[in-house]
Amino acid sequence: IRVPRLTRATQERAGEQADGGARIDPEGTVLITGGSGVLGRLVAEHLVREWGVRHVLLASRRGDRTPGSNELRSHLVELGATAVDIATADVGDAEAVAALIASVDPAHPLTGVIHAAGVLDDAVVTAQTPESLARVWAAKATAARLLHEATREIPLGLFMVFSSAAASLGSPGQANYAAANAYCDALVQHRRAQGLAGLSIAWGLWQATSGMTGQLSDTDLARMKRTGFAALTDEGGLALLDAARAHDHAYVVAADLDPRAVTDGLSPLLRTLTAPTTRRRVASEGLADGALAARLAGLDEEGRLALLTDVVREYVAAVLGHGSASRVSVDVAFKDLGFDSLTAVELR
């Protein structure tokens, strides 16, 4: 059985860069795909403010039609950028990527690429379609390959892909997204094997609401937290970005993880490969180790129904993020309570 093994990365010396490439020339241009999104903006600001990048090319599907793009350009200039170009490009299209690379000013050649673009199309495996897989794959995996091919002969100091921890740890409903990001992780390792710059950062959940996470409800966020992912603050995420760049690994997971919750969420087959942990207990005490069956055996039919109802309400409350089982009505259908395909799988 081949499964990822997570080990805690040790902090390198402050200011050291070890991602397989040369240091970024401040007079060169850094391309950020998904640059008009929330995460792309955060990273662009950080690169200008902390990394000394002076020439930035932000690419996205909407380009300068994205609300707030002019304000972003002005803000980056205020932070110290000399030139900020915002381009409209579908980085999942080969011709668009070629045109994007060709648009870089020769006086400030391309020295870095950060691929932060991506889309979600979540559904349980049985509800996935070829179209949903293709859409997610194009924005993340195909785009990464095209950027690699278009810049292979350019001496980049940075080729960074924003991957997802879903590729290593799994995430309910995101089989398509996990597959696309696993490809990106492998692509970066391929680049490093060729002596090219490459770093794939498998991000956990960010607190900042982006185009991808904006569709997540409070229930979704609570469910993700139960799987072991706490949301990263802007400051925490950017600190992990700097730490990842200071490592000699081609691939790192950057997330706020609860190891016990991650272990508890593994399938029974893989759970035996990890160190034992205390299982999260959602329902009442005394329900493990056959205690529930013993209690049911001592009750009449009405009592058994009442006990099982209480147990189910406890679990439903936990899955939906309610503080108390009293908020779960026994007269309302699961769908009307707020269940979808993903929360139904967790309850099961």
What is the domain-level CATH number for residue 167? 3.40.50.720
Report the run of H or E that residue 263 belongs to, with start and end: helix 259-264
* Among the ranges given (229-243, 253-267, 288-302, 305-319), the one the predictor scored with the smallest mean pLDDT: 253-267
Handedness of CA 39, 42, 48, 50 (dihedral sign): negative
152 occurs within a structural domain: yes
Q: What is the pLDDT of residue 267?
A: 61
> Residue 260 is encoded by which pair of tokens?
């016990």
Question: What pLDDT digit, counting tens, does each position of 67-125 carry?
Answer: 999 999 999 999 999 999 999 999 999 999 999 999 999 999 999 999 999 998 888 88
20 occurs within a structural domain: no
Residue 265 has pLDDT above 50, yes or no: yes
Q: Are residues 63 and 153 in the same domain?
A: yes
Residue bearing the bigger pLDDT, 126 or 261? 126
> Residue 201 is encoded by which pair of tokens?
């950062």
Q: Are residues 159 and 232 in the same domain?
A: yes
Q: Are residues 36 and 84 in the same domain?
A: yes
Q: In sequence order, which residues have a C-beta less than 8 Å from that of residue 178 and are 6 or more positions away?
A: 164, 166, 167, 170, 171
Going by C-alpha positions, the residue among 243, 256, 255, 232 that lies closest to residue 39 is: 232
270 occurs within a structural domain: no
Q: What is the pLDDT of residue 124?
A: 82
Separation CA 46–CA 58 (nearest Å): 14
Separation CA 307–CA 282 (nearest Å): 15
Q: Are residues 257 and 304 in the same domain?
A: no
Summary mean pLDDT of the chain: 83
Q: What is the pLDDT of residue 277?
A: 46
Q: What is the pLDDT of residue 287?
A: 55
Q: Are residues 215 and 309 in the same domain?
A: no
Domain holding 55, by residue range, is 29-264
Q: Are residues 236 and 138 in the same domain?
A: yes
Q: What is the pLDDT of residue 96?
A: 97
> Residue 253 is encoded by which pair of tokens?
């997971």
Residue bearing the bigger pLDDT, 147 or 173? 147
Banded model confidence at residue 5, pLDDT cuts 50, 70, 90: low
Average pLDDT value for residue range 40-57: 96
Q: Are residues 151 and 217 in the same domain?
A: yes
As a whole-number percent, the residues of the chain with pLDDT over 70 amount to 77
Q: Residue 30: helix, strand or coil by DSSP?
A: strand
206 occurs within a structural domain: yes
Q: Are residues 242 and 184 in the same domain?
A: yes
Q: What is the pLDDT of residue 120?
A: 86
Q: In sequence order, which residues have a C-beta less than 8 Å from that of residue 325 and are 6 or more positions away?
A: 310, 313, 314, 316, 317
Q: Which of 136-140, 169-173, 211-215 has the highest mean pLDDT?
A: 136-140
As a whole-number percent, the residues of the chain with pLDDT over 90 amount to 49
Report the run of H or E that residue 311 belongs to, with start and end: helix 301-320
Going by C-alpha positions, the residue among 46, 47, 58, 67 that lies closest to residue 211 is: 67
Separation CA 72–CA 129 (nearest Å): 37
13 occurs within a structural domain: no
Q: What is the pLDDT of residue 327?
A: 80
* Among the ranges given (159-163, 287-291, 296-300, 324-328), the one the predictor scored with the smallest mean pLDDT: 287-291
Report the run of H or E that residue 193 belongs to, with start and end: helix 175-193
Banded model confidence at residue 30, pLDDT cuts 50, 70, 90: very high
Q: Which of 17-21, 172-176, 267-271 has the highest mean pLDDT?
A: 172-176
Going by C-alpha positions, the residue among 122, 115, 150 that lies closest to residue 136 is: 122
74 occurs within a structural domain: yes
Q: Are residues 251 and 338 in the same domain?
A: no
Strand 229-230 vs strand 256-257: parallel, antiparallel, or unpaired? antiparallel
Average pLDDT value for residue range 12-18: 48
Q: Is 31 exposed, middle or buried (0-12, 13-18, 19+ CB in 10 A)?
A: buried
Which of 203, 230, 264 delimits the end of a domain?
Answer: 264
Count of Cβ atoms closer than 10 Å to residue 88 Cβ: 15
Separation CA 120–CA 115 (nearest Å): 15
Banded model confidence at residue 261, pLDDT cuts 50, 70, 90: low
Which of 232, 264, 296 delimits the end of a domain?
Answer: 264
320 occurs within a structural domain: yes
Q: What is the pLDDT of residue 280?
A: 44
Separation CA 207–CA 66 (nearest Å): 21
Q: Are residues 98 and 47 in the same domain?
A: yes
Residue 4 has pLDDT above 80, yes or no: no
Going by C-alpha positions, the residue among 276, 223, 232 that lies closest to residue 257 is: 232
Residue 331 has pLDDT above 80, yes or no: yes
Banded model confidence at residue 270, pLDDT cuts 50, 70, 90: low
Q: Are residues 246 and 290 in the same domain?
A: no
Separation CA 30–CA 54 (nearest Å): 9
Looking up tokens 């990273």 gives 43
Q: What is the pLDDT of residue 112?
A: 97
Which of 210, 236, 264 delimits the end of a domain?
Answer: 264
Number of domains in the chain: 2
Query: What distances in angstroms separate CA 80 from CA 46, 47, 49, one per listed residue?
Result: 11, 10, 7
249 occurs within a structural domain: yes
Q: What is the pLDDT of residue 6?
A: 67
Q: Are residues 176 and 324 in the same domain?
A: no
Residue 281 has pLDDT above 60, yes or no: no
